[in-house]
Amino acid sequence: MPAGLYTDCVADWDAGRYHALSEPQVEWGRRVLARLAARPGEQILDLGCGTGRLTREIAEATGCLAVGLDRSKSMLTIAARESRLGVVLGDGAALPFVQAFDAIFSNAALHWIKDHDAVFASVHHVLRPGGRFVAQCGGGPNLRRLLDHTHELMDSPRYRSYFGAWEDPWIFAGPGETRERLARAGFVDVRTGLEPAPTRLPDAAAFSDFIACVCVRHHVDRLPPAVRPSFVADLTARAAVADPPFTLDYWRLNIDARKAAP
């Protein structure tokens, strides 16, 4: 297989599979919703809503008007069905609204948008004066153990030819640089911090399914179909002998900020 053939062939999310596997992300998101403390009647944007599980919870629990936004068409197809609320196809770095929301919530999404300066400027533009930005995403040493193993495989003779000109599809920012970016965007009352969120999967099959769908899906999409199972199996074998086994070393970056009132 010629090197570089799969460089631009990353498919959209397998949203149905993600919807079934995303309990860890939903549990993190519920804690972020507690920080949001939405009030009845508020208009809230769920930035990077995925399949809409939390968008629906925002609306049902608070009586808010909740709108979900994502750049994945497959995710939004399920979100429209699951949330029964408004959903919008859009880019978090160029939100298609102007001072439209009292709060913007985001969970497990911002690390997939590499230009955080653009994201924070867009969020600030979309919030009403006094509006809140409450979010969590991967940050700092997020998944370092898994990704170290992944890069070792990518550099090995068996897989090296498929990963020419590779660029990671995410940014795992730290709290300090994130505070600076939020301040540059005009936010006040900024708070950021990292927290560990190790996530243990029950067995090899669950681990393989989860990482192939979520953590290393871009890597898998670079490989021809016949090679993909061995790549995931190699990563799973390493996780099997770790202590504890089948555990993903997640770290979450928490963000709380406010747009100044006039």
Q: What is the pLDDT of residue 11?
A: 66
Rg of the chain over all Cα atoms, to the nearest angstrom: 19
Bridge-based pairing state of the strands 101-107 and 127-138: parallel
pLDDT confidence of residue 85:
84
pLDDT for position 123 = 98
**Cα 14 off chain centre by:** 14
Contacts of 55 (CB under 8 A, 6+ apart): 46, 49, 66, 67, 68, 79, 83, 85, 87
pLDDT at 7: 31
What is the per-residue pLDDT for 83? Answer: 77
Helices 73-83 and 53-62: crossing angle, nearest 10°? 30
**Distance of alpha carbon 255 from alpha carbon 153, whole angstroms:** 33
pLDDT in tens, the chain (262 residues): 222 222 333 468 999 999 999 999 999 999 999 999 999 999 999 999 999 999 999 988 777 899 999 999 999 999 998 778 889 999 999 999 999 999 999 999 999 999 999 999 999 999 999 999 999 999 999 999 999 999 999 999 999 999 999 999 999 999 999 999 999 999 999 999 999 999 999 999 999 999 999 999 999 999 999 999 999 999 999 999 999 999 999 999 999 999 999 8
Q: What is the spatial distance between Cα 59 and Cα 103, in angstroms, rounded to a whole number?
A: 13
**pLDDT of the residue at 126:** 98
**What's the rounded Cα separation, in Å, for the pair 208 and 205?**
5
Q: If one looks up domain 15-259 in CATH, what number appears? A: 3.40.50.150
Ramachandran region, residue 74 (left: φ > 0; alpha: ψ -120 to 50; beta: rest): alpha
pLDDT at 84: 81
Note the pLDDT of residue 62: 74
